Amino acid sequence: MNKLETLGKISTLESKIKELTKERDALRVDAVSNGWAVWTVSIRQGAPSLKWWKENRPTVWQKYATSVTVKKFAAT
């Protein structure tokens, strides 16, 4: 494959992915509204990098940790 074929195929795939993502999102909304699926929300703990930990040696991890909300689609 040459440069133009490769870049053309990448462009085609990206447009298909965007189209399918929109379709997936619409189907998810329908599934949730019909009671066939739910959105589950969980909290993830994040922290500074290991390098930071080693440099600063904090004694309390929770003091520096942050919470991130994660939304996950799950069929029921």
**Percentage of the chain surpassing pLDDT 70?**
80
Cα distances (Å, whole numbers) of residue 22 to 6, 10, 27, 69, 74: 25, 18, 9, 22, 18
Average pLDDT, integer, range 31-57:
82
Residue 11 in this model has a pLDDT that exceeds 80 = yes
Residue 46 in this model has a pLDDT that exceeds 70 = yes
Residue 24 in this model has a pLDDT that exceeds 70 = yes
Rounded distance, CA 16 to CA 43, Å?
32
Name the band, by pLDDT with cuts 50, 70 and 90, for residue 63: low
pTM over 0.85: no
